[in-house]
Structure 1
C-alpha cells in the first residue's frame, strides 16, 4: 500500500485513518486513490469506521455497497467483527484498483459479498467461506485474531488472515471474469490443469489425506483442485506485490530495489517476484531478531513462479486483453 497524506496539512495519513493529527477529517477517494478534502462520506463512516467517500450519489462507498448481506450487529461481537472484516476488504479492493479491477474504468461485474457470522443470537452456525455465481461468502467471525490463530494451528497452515481470505475468494471471482476471454481457458489448463474435474470429490480427498505441496504448489490446499491452485496463486501474487509496494512507498532501500520502483506498474512478473522475495527475506530476518514469526514463510519454487507470472499477466492486463469488455 502506498503512503498517504492529509490534504489539509500534509502530515502522513494511514489508509484507514478517519482523523488527522491536525484535527481534520480524512476521507479516502478510491477513484483518485488519495485522501481528499470535503468529500461526501460513506454512510458507514460512523458505524463501521469506513473512511471511504460515497460512490457517486449513493450513500455507501464502492466497497460497502458490495456487501449485500451483513450479520445481526447487536449480537455478541458481530459489530466489531464486521468493521474489522470490512477494513480488510477495503485494503484488498484498493490494491486491485491499481490494476483497474472494479474501478470506473472496469466495465465488468463486481462481486457481491455475504458477510456472515457464526454468532446469530441462538445456536452458532457453521460458515463456509467460498465463491459461487458472483457471491463471495466471508466468515466475519475470523476477524477475531484469537479464533483465527486457533484455526490456523488446527489446520496446520503457515498463514491465515482476513486479507488473505478476501484475496483468495476474490481470486475465484476473477477466474469467472477471465474465463470468457478467448485464450484464457486453454492457457489456464496447460498451467494449472483441467478445472472441470469434480470439485467436491477433490476437496473430500484433500481433507482426508492432505498432500505435500512439493515443488509445484505454493500450499497444500493448492494441490486439491485447479480452482484452488489458481486462488492460492493469485492470493500470493497479491500478497507479494503489496509487500513490495509497501516497502517502496515507505522509501526503504536495499540492494536490487530501484529507488523509483513501482511494483503495480511492473510488467515483468519474474523481476517483481525476485524483488519481493528479497524484501520478504530481509524482513523475515528482522522478525527473527525479535523471535517473531516470518513475515512470509513460503518458498517460491520455479514452478510456483511460473504460475504466479501467469496470473500476473492476466490480472494486470485484463482490460487490454478484453478491449474493455470483460464479462
Structure 2
C-alpha cells in the first residue's frame, strides 16, 4: 500500500486516516489513488470510519458493494463490521491499481454479505464463500480473539480478514476473466492446462479434501489449493496480491535491499537480476519473476528482523519451481482487465 500525502500540508498520511495532524479532514479517492480535501464523503464515515469519497450517491465505491450488513442490534458487531470493511477497502484499493472496479472498468461488480455469528436470535453458522458474484464474509473473524481460535483450529497461522477478502475476490475475478471476450478461446484453455478442469464436481472435491487433506506440494501453494482448480486459483491469486502489496508497501516505506545483494540461505527458482532495484510501483511491474524475487527477498530480511522479537515470520510460504507457471499466469491475468 502507498503512503499518501496531505493535500493541505504535505505530511504523510496512511490508508485509513480520516484527518491529518494539521487538522485537515481528508478522504481517499480510489479513482485518483490519493487523499483529497473538500470531497463528498461516504455516508458510513461516522459509523465505521470509512474515509472514501462518495460516488453517485451517499456511499463510496466500496460500501455500495455491501448488500447485507451484520446485526447491529448487538453493539459488538459494529467494530467487527468496521474492521471487515477496512480489509475490503484495502483489497479493492490494491486491485484498483490495475484498474479493477474503476470508472473505466465497465464489467460486473461483486456484492458482499457481511454476516456475524452473533445475532439477536442467538449464534448462527456463517460459511464464507463466493457464489455467482456474491461474496459472504464472516465478520466474527475480524475480532482478535475469535481469529486466534480459528487460526489454531484450522492450522492456519496466517488466516486473516484481508486474506479472506483476497481469496474470495479471486473467485469473482475468475468469473470476469472467463466471461471476457477471450475467456473461452484463451483464458480458460490456459487455465485448465495449469490448474485443471474447473468443471469437475466441486462439492465432491471439497468433501474428499476434508476427509483426507493433502499437504501443499511442488505445484500447490497451500493444502486447500489441492482440493479443486477453483481453490487452487483463489489461493494463487491471494498470494500474488499478498506479495505485490508487500513489495509495494516496502517501497512506499523506503525499504529496499542493496542491488545485487546476496541473501544467505536464498533458494528457489526466483533469482535476483543483476542491478535490479526496488521499483516505486510494484503494480506496474510486468515481470512476475522480478516482482516475486523482490517480495521474497524483502520477506526473508523482515523474517530475520521479526525473530529478534520472537514474532512470526512475515511470509513463511515456500514458492517451489512447480508454482512458477501458475503464479505467472495468475499475475498476468489480473494485471489486465477483460475488454
Which interval holds the TM-score relative to the shorter structure?
Answer: over 0.9
Distance, in Å, in 2 between the alignment partners of 1:158 and 1:186 is: 34
**Which residue is 2:230 aligned to?**
227
Count of residues in Structure 1 that have an aligned counterpart in Structure 2: 319
**Which residue is 1:295 aligned to?**
314
Distance, in Å, in 2 between the alignment partners of 1:196 and 1:260 is: 39
Distance, in Å, in 2 between the alignment partners of 1:24 and 1:165 is: 33
Distance, in Å, in 1 between the alignment partners of 2:215 and 2:258 is: 34
Answer yes or no: is 1:144 the counterpart of 2:143: yes
Answer yes or no: is 1:193 the counterpart of 2:192: no
Distance, in Å, in 2 between the alignment partners of 1:259 and 1:157 is: 30
The alpha-carbon deviation at position 19 of structure 1 amounts to: 1.1
**Which residue is 2:76 aligned to?**
77
Distance, in Å, in 1 between the alignment partners of 2:148 and 2:194 is: 32
Note the alpha carbon deviations across 1:151-203, whole angstroms, 9 max, x for none. 11111114111100000000000000011223111100000001111110111
Answer yes or no: is 1:88 the counterpart of 2:87: yes
Query: Of 274, 278, 287, which aligns to 2:297?
Result: 278
Give the match's secondary structure for 1:286. helix
> 1:121 and 1:225, CA in 2 relative to 1: closer, same or farther beyond 3 A?
same
> Which runs of no fewer than 5 residues in structure 2 stay unpaired?
260-275
**Which residue is 2:242 aligned to?**
239
**Which residue is 1:116 aligned to?**
115
Q: CA RMSD in A?
A: 1.1
**Which residue is 2:263 aligned to?**
none
Distance, in Å, in 2 between the alignment partners of 1:21 and 1:165 is: 32
Distance, in Å, in 2 between the alignment partners of 1:44 and 1:262 is: 30
TM-score normalised by the chain length of structure 2: 0.92
> Which runs of no fewer than 5 residues in structure 1 stay unpaired?
none
Asked if the contact 2:252–2:280 (Cα under 8 Å) also holds between the matched residues in 1, the reply is no
Asked if the contact 2:170–2:234 (Cα under 8 Å) also holds between the matched residues in 1, the reply is yes
Asked if the contact 1:158–1:297 (Cα under 8 Å) also holds between the matched residues in 2, the reply is no
**Which residue is 1:15 aligned to?**
15
Give the match's secondary structure for 1:179. helix
The alpha-carbon deviation at position 259 of structure 1 amounts to: 5.0
The alpha-carbon deviation at position 255 of structure 1 amounts to: 2.1
The alpha-carbon deviation at position 261 of structure 1 amounts to: 3.9
